[in-house]
Chain A
Amino acid sequence: MKRFVTNAVLLLTISLVLDFGIGKALEYMYFANTSGAPGYVLNHAVSQPYDAYIMGASGAQRGYIPSVISRELGMEVLNTGEAGTNIFHNYATLKLVLKHRTPKLIIWDLTDADYFYRPDAGKTGMITPYYHDPDIKELLYDLDPLNKLWLCSKIYPYNGKILSIVSSYVSKPNAQAAGDKGYHPIEGSINLKMRSQYLRQFSEEQSFIKHRSKDEAAKDALIRKYFHAFIQLCRDNNIRLIAFHCPKAPLNSQIASTPLISEELRAQLQHYNIPLYSIMPGQYPEMNNLSLFFDFSHLNHSGAQVFSRIIAEHIKSELK
């Protein structure tokens, strides 16, 4: 038994030393990239001050143009949207930003996935490199208690990122990688051959909050904890919070006028006096045009321009 234990300890020690070395190298290369390219937007957000931040998931990343909003409002805006994320990412971003500067405004692209657990929305890979920060560490432990164990590894925070970290460190990200201050335009129009699939997606999105399993309910509770914490953080720091809800491609009149946002979530926003604008094509004729959409849930660049102008007007009137 002694021989086995000795060899096991030796193997573990060598692995930990290597893990430390590789992890440190990855950490150095990861934090050297402050371009704001997808996956690195947090590095940029904490390295440069902005007056306002756009927060959300892919809808924010592809629909909100900082330069359009900046022009209207006269303030510096950064889009921190990341595809596949939810309130956890927004909370972490705000926590990290607040360590350096208190922004005036947060433009919040809100979906039900910020209040109800969805398996396809909740990526936290962009947060884990910041595990040194006590607030982020607490969030990561909340997300998965096993992170207490995983984070003993210095490599784990960069899990699955080695190729992107090394290649962007070696080749240095080009100017376009960061998009327009975090906004990433997509070109092309919605493929109407996939209409039936989009209609199915619409009804699935309408019904996904109705049937919650025990597992999902437990995850909902965690999401809500951070939903409330995010709002509280804004209030404690006197940050103006304005919520928007991105439109879906108006394939029919029902979709054009039905915001995919639950009553429960609306009630929460009302409770906190947070203005919510659902930019429904049914009410905004300029959005009622399928050529402005890349797919069912995302605007293309032309759509983003129209949409950004609309929300800039709303923000302006709110700030008055």
Chain B
Amino acid sequence: MSLVSVLYLIFLGMVLLVYYALPQKARPYLLLLSSWAFYAINQGYYLFVLLLSISINYLLCRGWAKHGNRAWVAVSILFNLALLSFFKYLPAIFGFTSLPDGSLLQQIAIPIGLSFFSFQAMGYMLDLHWSGKRQVASMAQYSLFMSFFPQLLAGPIARGKSFIPQVSKASCFNYADMVSGSRRILWGLFKKVVIASNLSPYTDVVFQNYNDHQGITIALAAIAYFIQIYMDFSAYSDIAIGSARLFGYRLMENFRVPLSAKSVTDFWRRWHISLSSWVRDYLFLPLQYQTRAWGKAGLTTATMITFLVIGVWHGANWTLVIFGVLHGIASTWESHSKELRAKLWQSLPKRIGNVLSNLIVFLFIAASAILLRSASIGEAIAIISRIAGSSPLYLGSKQLLVFAISGMLLVFGIDTFKGDIPIDEYIGKQPKALRWALYICLIIALPLIGSLSSENFIYYQY
């Protein structure tokens, strides 16, 4: 059940109705049961993996609270890494997927959302350990934290310290939350259906038949793919955040206008914030602290390891390792060349400097997105090497491209004006007539120019 499907909207509506009809104490239990039902609908008996992860992680947290021994933390991290490895990395490393059809190992699929809920579990345990407080949430609260359905499939990766207090907080029906949540969902649907899904046929055709294309077509497809991922994933996040808001829950923002980033480091502060802040807090900062005596070498080591983890988090493929390494190198270069770059930008008029740095980052990210798209390093090299050639410009269905571009103009236009404010807040600040005009435009655009057949999100695979 995709978050852009009618079934999801019906499911959400039904859960919402029962939620506000129930006494407050019963509401978290309803959310918990709905979340498990949601997972079972999506991946059947893989719900068992989620339940196993919740049970073992919770027991380990209880163990830590009782004994206060670091070993519990280590076991928790090992358990989550083992779970990730078993489903995500070992099949790729040992080539289970190429075993004969029907064999048990060949049939093992990656449980949807595994990377997200495993990181949540590790984060919770580390927070517990670092806070020193031997107070663990109740089993129900912890279970809901791990399986809350709007964020279960592809994040945002929640933090226990911000999520769990919301479970125990009495949540009454709140008009502002309902409006805000609905706005977010509508905005997400528009980005997914009108932009990402209309770009998808073009990028699919070019990348699946990259041998037929060269030069400008490949470059354009890489840019289109980067925008597609951005729209696709930020749309998912908007729908997830909006859905949670309808129940009175606030999830972490996942994007903050990443296209306005002026450096790769800045980009990662704005892109998939729940993951980048997770690796910053639980990996980069501790590593940097441990290696502080090494000076610049320590910073480089911490940065490279962090980005390597970001790359590998996306999946077991060398292209993703290289993706991480490239971003690590770019980020390291940026931190070592701060003064040099500051001098260079100062020698240019501010506006030109801003546009240039913006453009360089955009092109770097778009080029590296080819690695996310390619099935192997060989394919990535073949695609990138074809940018140098020349062939007639291929645009696919011009009609779909026009729809996607008109959607982008609206989204990027609003992004420019709103800055870092979340979209629902920005819309809320507009005059009523403008707000309503926007709602109606977004609603009408869905059946008029949206591509309604594609329900999958790119980040489901991670």
Task: Enumerate chain A interface residues (CB-CB to B < 8 A).
Answer: 1, 3-4, 7-8, 11, 14-15, 18-19, 22, 146, 149-150, 153, 155-156, 158-164, 194, 197, 211
- Complex contact A160–B399 (CB within 8 A): yes
- Complex contact B447–A19 (CB within 8 A): yes
Asked if B156 is an interface residue, CB under 8 A from chain A, the answer is no
Interface string of B95-118 (1 = CB under 8 A from A): 000000100000000000000000
Determine chain A's interface SS by DSSP, over half rule.
helix
- Complex contact A159–B212 (CB within 8 A): no
Contacts of B448 in A (CB 8 A): 22, 155, 158-159, 162
Given contacts A153-B447, A163-B402, A164-B399, contact A4 B179 (CB under 8 A): yes
Q: With A and B bound together, what is the CA distance between A254 and B214 in angstroms?
A: 32
Given contacts A4-B179, A11-B436, A15-B440, contact A194 B212 (CB under 8 A): yes
Given contacts A164-B399, A194-B212, contact A3 B175 (CB under 8 A): yes
Asked if B84 is an interface residue, CB under 8 A from chain A, the answer is no
| Listed A/B pairs (13) with beta-carbon separation below 8 Å | A1-B20, A11-B439, A11-B440, A11-B443, A14-B436, A19-B447, A146-B6, A159-B447, A160-B400, A160-B449, A162-B449, A163-B402, A194-B212
Asked if B451 is an interface residue, CB under 8 A from chain A, the answer is yes
**How far apart are B175's CB and chain A's nearest CB, in angstroms?**
5
Contacts of B101 in A (CB 8 A): 211
Task: Enumerate chain B interface residues (CB-CB to A < 8 A).
Answer: 6-7, 20, 101, 173, 175, 178-179, 182, 209, 211-212, 399-400, 402-403, 436, 439-440, 443-444, 447-452
Q: With A and B bound together, what is the CA distance between A5 and B179 in angstroms?
A: 10
Q: With A and B bound together, what is the CA distance between A98 and B26 in angstroms?
A: 59
- Complex contact B452–A159 (CB within 8 A): yes
- Complex contact B212–A160 (CB within 8 A): no
- Complex contact A159–B440 (CB within 8 A): no
- Complex contact B20–A19 (CB within 8 A): no
Contacts of A211 in B (CB 8 A): 101
Q: With A and B bound together, what is the CA distance between A3 and B176 in angstroms?
A: 11
Interface centre among A18, A149, A160, A164, by most chain B C-beta atoms within 10 angstroms, is A160
Q: With A and B bound together, what is the CA distance between A149 and B439 in angstroms?
A: 20
- Complex contact B444–A18 (CB within 8 A): yes
Contacts of A162 in B (CB 8 A): 448-449
Contacts of A194 in B (CB 8 A): 211-212
Can you name the residue of chain B whose Cβ is closest to the Cβ of A2?
A: B175
Q: With A and B bound together, what is the CA distance between A159 and B178 in angstroms?
A: 29
Contacts of B452 in A (CB 8 A): 150, 156, 159
**How far apart are A125's CB and chain B's nearest CB, in angstroms?**
10
